[in-house]
C-alpha cells in the first residue's frame, strides 16, 4: 500500500466533512453565506432603499418628472488570495507504510497525526473569511472595511470610501459618564433605543439583532439602570440576577435578539484573538446581509486537470491539492482560497461604540 492510496485529497475532504459536522459553525456564515464565482474580481451592488419619497405633484397634460435612482452604488475590487502547504516527509512515509500491519496500533496514530496536520490548514482557511466578516460587523472608530497584514502582504479593503456610512450608521459614546464602562451612570437601554431609532429613521427598517462580545454584554449587565429595570420586573424579594434574565429583559423591552459571540482564533503571530472585539455593538436586520465570495484558485484552475495532482474542494471554495515532490520524495498538501465578503445590506446596519 502506497501513501498516495491513503493520503488523497478526497480522503482529506471526507475527513474534514466528518470533523466539521461535529463543530459549531462560524457565526458569519449565517449572515454572509458562501458563494462561488470564476476568477478573482468581485463586484456587488449596494443599495440604500431608505424611506419612501412622495411622488411629486403634477398637472394634467404636463410631462412627468424623472426621478433619480437614489443610493445605488456598484463596488468592485479584487479578492484576496491565501495559501499554505505542509509536507509528509520521507521518514513519515516510511512510518505510514506500517498501516499494512492491521495489528499495529502505532500506524493508526501516524495516520491520525497526518490528517490533523491537514485539518490545521483547512481550519486556518476557514478562519480567514470569519475574520473578514467580523471586521465588517465591528467597524471600530467607524472604519467599515477589512485589513489583514501578514507575510509581507497587505490586504486592505475600504467599504466606505467617502464616509457616508459612518456619518449615518455609526455612533461613538464620548462622555465618560455615558460610556458603558461607567456602570453607575451609563444608560445602555437608552443608547440602544436611540441607535435603533436612528437606523429606522435613516433606512425605514428597524434592526432586529444586536451583536456584541461577552465583555460588552457584561458591561451592559453591570449597568445600575439595567439592573434596576430587571429587578423592577420581579416581585419576589430575592432575585437571581443572571445573564439570561438580563438578556430576556432587553430583548423584550427593545424587541431585538441579542447574540453574544465568543469564538476565538490564533493569528499569524501566534496570538489568541477574539473574532468579535469588545466595546462595540452592531445592530443588524434579520436574514442574509451579504455573501462570502470564493474565487477560482490557481490549484483549482491548473492542477485539477493534471494527472499527477489530486485536487478537491471543500466549503464552497477552499482548494485542497495533494502533489508529490522529487528529491526528496515528499507528499505536499496545499490549501488555498481566494475569498472576500460582499456587504450589500450594510446600509441597514448600525454600529454603536460604547467604551
- Is residue 328 within 8 Å of 90, Cβ to Cβ? yes
Question: One digit per residue, pLDDT tens: the chain, 355 residues?
Answer: 555 666 666 776 776 666 555 566 799 999 999 999 887 677 665 555 554 555 455 555 565 555 454 454 556 677 889 999 988 888 777 766 666 565 666 666 666 666 667 788 888 899 999 999 999 999 999 999 999 888 788 888 999 999 999 999 999 999 999 999 999 999 999 999 999 999 999 988 999 999 999 999 999 999 999 999 998 887 666 778 899 999 999 999 999 999 999 999 988 888 889 999 999 999 999 999 999 999 999 888 888 777 778 899 998 999 999 888 888 888 888 999 999 999 999 999 999 999 9
At 23 the pLDDT is 67
- Is residue 222 within 8 Å of 300, Cβ to Cβ? no
Q: CB-hemisphere CA count at 13 Å for 94?
A: 2
| Maximum Cα–Cα distance across the chain | 94
Distance (Å, whole) CA 98 – CA 94: 7
- Is residue 220 within 8 Å of 246, Cβ to Cβ? yes
At 100 the pLDDT is 57
Q: Is the bond leading into 183 cis (omega within 30 degrees of zero)?
A: no
- Is residue 349 within 8 Å of 51, Cβ to Cβ? no
At 6 the pLDDT is 62
Q: Which residues contact 197 (CB under 8 A, 6 or more apart)?
A: none
At 39 the pLDDT is 73
Buried b (16+ CB within 10 A) or exposed e, 244-271: ebbbebbeeebebebbbbeeebeeeeee
Buried b (16+ CB within 10 A) or exposed e, 183-221: beebbbbebbeebbebbeebbebbbebbbbbeebbbbbb
pTM listed for this prediction: 0.82
Distance (Å, whole) CA 288 – CA 62: 43
Pick the closest to residue 127 from 298, 283, 320, 337 (CA basis): 337
Write out the three cell numbers for 153.
502582504
For the chain, domains (ranges, CATH) are: 3-49+72-353 (3.90.1690.10)
At 188 the pLDDT is 98
Amino acid at each position: 500500500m502506497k501513501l498516495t492510496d491513503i493520503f488523497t485529497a478526497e480522503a482529506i475532504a471526507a475527513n474534514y466533512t466528518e470533523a466539521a459536522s461535529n463543530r459549531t459553525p462560524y457565526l458569519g456564515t449565517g449572515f454572509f453565506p458562501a458563494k462561488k464565482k470564476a476568477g478573482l474580481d468581485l463586484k456587488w451592488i449596494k443599495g440604500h432603499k431608505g424611506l419612501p419619497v412622495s411622488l411629486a405633484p403634477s398637472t394634467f397634460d404636463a410631462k412627468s418628472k424623472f426621478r433619480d435612482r437614489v443610493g445605488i452604488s456598484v463596488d468592485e475590487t479584487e479578492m484576496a488570495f491565501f495559501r499554505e502547504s505542509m509536507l509528509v516527509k520521507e521518514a513519515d512515509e516510511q512510518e505510514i507504510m506500517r498501516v499494512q500491519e492491521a495489528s499495529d496500533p502505532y500506524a493508526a496514530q501516524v495516520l491520525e497525526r497526518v490528517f490533523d496536520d491537514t485539518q490545521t490548514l483547512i481550519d486556518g482557511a476557514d478562519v480567514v473569511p470569519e475574520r473578514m466578516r467580523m471586521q465588517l460587523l465591528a467597524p471600530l472608530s467607524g472604519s467599515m472595511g477589512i485589513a489583514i497584514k501578514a507575510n509581507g502582504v497587505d490586504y486592505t479593503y475600504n467599504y466606505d470610501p467617502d464616509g457616508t456610512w459612518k456619518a449615518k450608521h455609526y455612533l461613538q459614546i464620548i462622555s465618560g459618564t455615558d460610556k458603558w464602562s461607567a456602570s453607575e451612570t451609563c444608560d445602555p437601554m437608552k443608547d440602544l433605543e436611540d441607535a435603533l431609532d436612528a437606523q429606522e429613521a435613516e433606512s425605514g427598517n428597524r434592526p432586529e439583532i444586536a451583536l456584541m462580545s461577552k465583555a460588552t454584554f457584561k458591561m451592559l449587565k453591570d449597568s445600575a439602570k439595567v439592573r434596576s429595570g430587571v429587578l423592577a420586573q420581579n416581585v419576589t424579594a430575592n432575585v437571581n440576577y443572571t445573564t439570561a434574565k438580563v438578556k430576556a429583559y432587553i430583548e423584550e423591552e427593545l424587541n431585538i435578539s441579542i447574540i453574544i459571540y465568543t469564538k476565538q482564533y490564533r493569528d499569524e503571530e501566534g496570538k489568541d484573538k477574539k473574532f468579535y472585539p469588545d466595546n462595540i455593538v452592531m445592530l443588524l436586520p434579520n436574514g442574509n446581509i451579504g455573501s462570502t465570495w470564493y474565487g477560482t484558485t490557481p490549484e483549482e484552475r491548473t492542477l485539477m486537470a493534471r494527472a499527477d495532482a489530486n485536487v478537491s474542494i471543500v466549503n464552497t471554495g477552499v482548494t485542497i491539492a495533494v502533489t508529490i515532490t522529487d528529491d526528496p520524495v515528499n507528499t505536499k498538501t496545499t490549501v488555498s482560497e481566494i475569498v472576500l465578503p460582499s456587504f450589500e445590506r450594510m446600509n441597514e446596519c448600525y454600529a454603536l461604540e460604547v467604551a
